[in-house]
Structure 1
Amino acid sequence: MTPAPWLEMRLRVAEQAAATLADEFFGAEVWLVGALTEGLAHQKSDVDLLLITQEPVAEPRSRLVHGIRVDIRAVSWDAVNAWRILLDSFTVTRDDIETFRTVRTRLSDLTLLRTARPLTPAPYLEPSRVLEPGRRATYQRWALADRCETAASLAEDLLGLAQAGLYPHADLVWTQLARVLAQAETVAAGAPLLGEKWLPSLMAVGHDSDRFKAVPELPQPRWSTAAAHSPFFATVQARLADALFVLWPSDADPEPVDEAGLGGFGWLPQHYRDGWFLRRGDARVPLSNGQIRTWRKAAARRART
């Protein structure tokens, strides 16, 4: 497919701005970051550049190049290396999530690394890759865990809103959950965690016949009976489990699990370094590989009813 002319123009502007910055800041590197590196842009998109220097420098002002705004963020190599350290391994456990809190606050920076493409000579990097495969895989795990945490928070809100009879408010959160779920699926498929507006394009990656794919709608909820009977929520449970199985596949034999107690509204799966668990609010219930397979199968069955 021929790239859109506004995409090609922005790539040329990025290269021109990078060359100018390299002259202004001797020895610095300039990386193109964000959605543009994934081939995503519209006719009003800005160009985002990362200027990496040995010592901290004042943030260069945004500039217009051929009428296109170029935003520049200046960071030191020390900062970039600190981001890289967070991608050395997926370390979060159920008993110690302090690192996860740190990673979540820096996830936008880590996404810059995941999308970065060097525009100036970088002798220690492959021409089109800033992160090696191992760190890219770790980014994928952190990003998916982040979306699972966000989904769990929204599910807790939904339960509270439904119990309070605030159904119009719950409808809004339900729509938001549909987008978070779609983000989880695109991250599991290898996409960076970009803004929601890019979901139709990210969901179409790997589907040669589709340029865009709509964010799947969730089943019509029945808030008045949600706490006691919520088959509509099972779709969320099964899809989130499937996204996690992409990164943590299991062929363990199914094992019994309390489907009635752990399959109700609000329970969602997650995987940390120490294994699987289900979460609802502040409650966390560890499951074995065999139990999570049984739980996921039951969720898929409920979703079909």
Structure 2
Amino acid sequence: MNDTPWLKRLEVAEQAAARLADEYVGADVWLVGALAEGLAHQHSDVDLLLITPGPVAGPGSRLIQGIRVDVRAVSRSTVHEWRTLLDAFTVTRDDIATFRAARARLSDLTLLRTARPLAQTPDQVAVLEPGQRATYQRWALADRCEAAGSLAEDLLGLAQAGLYPHADLVWAQLARVVAQAETVAAGAALLGEKWLPSLLSSNNARFTPVPALPEPRWVSAPAHSPFFASVQVRVADALLALWPTDAEPEPVDEAGLGGFGWLPQRYGDGWFLRRGDDRVPLSDGRMRGWQQAAARRAHS
């Protein structure tokens, strides 16, 4: 990425923040979104969050130096409500109402995760504390695993119905969701899919393509589908990056749990495998055993 678009927009963001501070006495202005993460292109907008003592009419959008600045106004009490979801990763298998609430607010939580105060200073300090950032990672990764599970359920139905061109489209979408899970596990915010080539990149590469999934064989799926194992192992590796365990691998005896559509998930009360509406709890050791078996299938 050329730094020029980013630096230009940072300058515009600082100008907009100064004007908003004059217009809304006692308010804070935060830079949020991809720009706050150092990502921009020649036509990127600037996203700002205006935090006010109480509810106000939104200032909307404005143009500064020919660049659009989108301003979202929220009250401090609303920001506090968002923060409470980052106090702990509390979702359990028996009560997932909190998970639904967090997923519904995930775009707001991403604003907090990316937020940097704009106070005419060169140092941009993160708004969230390390523990809150870690909780955000878990919510965001659990969200991507849930999305992957829903796509896998679609694939199962499409393959069984012989709708192979439709399954190809979902398979391509699944590749991006799995890549998002990996970037979140590596510490990135859950930004739009368009930023994946930058988020996947290391210091040695400018952009990294989204890793392709193996060529599917829908005619033989789901009865015989070793190609799906690559999805299973990558999702498992992402989850284990945030929930590591030294437990000794244990065999998973239930027949078919390594088959097409089964994917792992981690909630506050432990591991489970999911396929559609079916959920099978796993211990740490059985999760490691399942992951190792998936790795063997992926490389067979």
Q: Tell me if both proteins adopt one fold, taking TM over 0.5 as the criterion.
A: yes
Shift of 1:211: 1.3
Instruction: Please list, as runs of the form range in 1=range in 2, the aligned pairs for 1:242-281 lying within 5 A after superposition.
Output: 242-258=237-253, 260-281=255-276
Which residue does 2:196 correspond to in 1?
199
The code of the aligned residue for 2:127 comes to V
- Verify the 8 A CA contact 2:14 2:120 in the aligned structure 1: no
Which residue does 1:17 correspond to in 2?
16
Question: Normalization by structure 2: what TM-score?
Answer: 0.97
SS across alignment from 1:210 = coil
Match for residue 220 of structure 1 among 200, 209, 215: 215
The code of the aligned residue for 1:281 comes to G
Cα distance in structure 1, aligned partners of 2:42 and 2:102: 33
Cα distance in structure 2, aligned partners of 1:231 and 1:238: 11
- Verify the 8 A CA contact 1:200 1:213 in the aligned structure 2: yes
SS across alignment from 1:224 = coil
Question: Normalization by structure 1: what TM-score?
Answer: 0.96
Structure 1: 5+ residue runs without aligned partners?
none
Which residue does 1:175 correspond to in 2?
172
Shift of 1:120: 2.7
Structure 2: 5+ residue runs without aligned partners?
none
Which residue does 1:164 correspond to in 2?
161
Greater shift in the superposed pair: 254-263 or 192-201: 254-263
Aligned residues: 299
Cα distance in structure 2, aligned partners of 1:30 and 1:256: 53
Cα distance in structure 1, aligned partners of 2:23 and 2:176: 41
Deviation above 6 Å: which 4+ runs of structure 1? Answer: none
- Verify the 8 A CA contact 2:116 2:127 in the aligned structure 1: yes
Cα distance in structure 2, aligned partners of 1:63 and 1:258: 60
Cα distance in structure 2, aligned partners of 1:151 and 1:101: 16
Q: RMSD in angstroms over aligned alpha carbons? A: 1.3
- Verify the 8 A CA contact 1:22 1:120 in the aligned structure 2: no
- Verify the 8 A CA contact 1:58 1:74 in the aligned structure 2: yes
Deviation string, structure 1 residues 135-189 (Cα, Å, up to 9, x no partner): 0000000000000000000000000000000000000000000000000000000
Which residue does 2:64 correspond to in 1?
65
Percent of aligned positions that are identical? 74
Shift of 1:259: 6.4
Which residue does 2:49 correspond to in 1?
50
- Residues 106 and 98 of structure 1: CA distance in aligned 2, closer, same or farther (over 3 Å): same
Cα distance in structure 1, aligned partners of 2:140 and 2:91: 12
Deviation string, structure 1 residues 190-242 (Cα, Å, up to 9, x no partner): 000000000000011xx221111110000000111111111000000000000
Cα distance in structure 1, aligned partners of 2:172 and 2:47: 29
